[in-house]
Amino acid sequence: MAALINVPPKAKRGDVIEIKTLMSHIMETGYRRTAAGDIVPRDIITSFSCRYNGSEIFRADLFPAIAANPFISFYTVATDSGTFEFEWIGDRGFSATAKAAITVE
Amino acid sequence: MMDNQDQTTRRHFLAVAGGAAVAGAVPVLTVRPAGATPAMLAAAIRDVVGAAVVHTGKVKLDIPPLVENGNTVPMTVSVASPMTAEDHVKSIHVFNEKNPQPNIGNFVLGPRAGRAVVSTRIRLADSQKIKAIAHLADGSFWSVSVDVVVTLAACTEEVI
């Protein structure tokens, strides 16, 4: 459950900044079979969200068609100094969170 | 004689129907569709857009036209939008034609995004069309389709 987050540490107020996230996860599709012919049960991250100082700025529903170790990047306007909170939720009770701080001048 | 025949027919029918129900219950668990049919794709799109008309344009889908490995394909969707409170992209939905199921991802944005651009990495089971649909604040839907050729497919390989 390792997350890689890339948020610029500093930004000018009003700047559009890019946020890149990567979560290590197998994203097992549920369509593969073992050599014995049994289906490998689905195990994917189904939802990702990002909150900026408490309010949600981005959310994604993921499906088996998202590659393993889901990489998601998106943009937001730097409004205030504070924290980004990231959350991944998936099958089999998977849940992971991460945080990143930003200073807005 | 007729009664007898009717009874055997009905008994036979029930036996066959019962057998079919049992046999039918097992494949539901094991048989998976080989690919999202156009009907499944259309249904998945209808789930998102409802009865609204989907226009072509405004959306740009950056994806390699020739993919060697379908297990991880970089993809960027961008929408031409000023991203103001009145005129912004509410959500972006990406679909495929031939993976086992038609959805790839739904991305919910808002005016705070500043720029309507989302990147991720996807799986492609076959050479196919990828479709991205953007839902704008005024309620309109805009889309783009891109053809991708895949040489090594995802999803179908065995686990070792």
Q: pLDDT digits over B17-64, tens only?
A: 555 554 444 433 334 456 677 888 999 999 999 999 999 999 999 999
- The answer to whether the Cβ–Cβ distance between A76 and B160 falls below 8 Å is no
Between CA B115 and CA B54 the distance in angstroms is: 22
Using a CB–CB cutoff of 8 Å, tell me whether B71 touches chain A: yes
List, in sequence order, every residue forming a beta bridge with B60; answer none if it has no partner: B78
On chain B, the residues whose CB falls within 8 A of the CB of A58 are 107-109, 113
Between CA B132 and CA B96 the distance in angstroms is: 9
Measured from the Cβ of residue B21, the count of other Cβ atoms closer than 10 Å reads 9
Q: What pLDDT, in 10s, does the model give residues B66-86?
A: 998 999 999 999 999 999 999
* ipTM higher than threshold 0.85: yes
Using a CB–CB cutoff of 8 Å, tell me whether B90 touches chain A: no
For the question of whether the overall pTM of this predicted structure is more than 0.95, the answer is: no
Q: What pLDDT, in 10s, does the model give residues B103-122?
A: 999 999 999 999 999 999 99
- The answer to whether the Cβ–Cβ distance between A74 and B158 falls below 8 Å is no
Give B149 to chain A, closest Cα distance, Å: 16
Listed residue (B149, B111, B134, B144) closest to B48, CA to CA? B134
Give A35 to chain B, closest Cα distance, Å: 6
What is the three-class DSSP state of B38?
A: helix
Between CA B127 and CA A31 the distance in angstroms is: 18
Interface of A with B (CB under 8 A): 16-17, 29-35, 39-40, 52, 57-68, 70-77, 79
Q: Which of A16, A64, A71 sits opposite B120 (nearest CB)?
A: A71
Between CA A14 and CA A17 the distance in angstroms is: 9
Between CA B31 and CA B46 the distance in angstroms is: 25
Band (B158; pLDDT cuts 50, 70, 90): low
List, in sequence order, every residue forming a beta bridge with A49; answer none if it has no partner: A59, A87
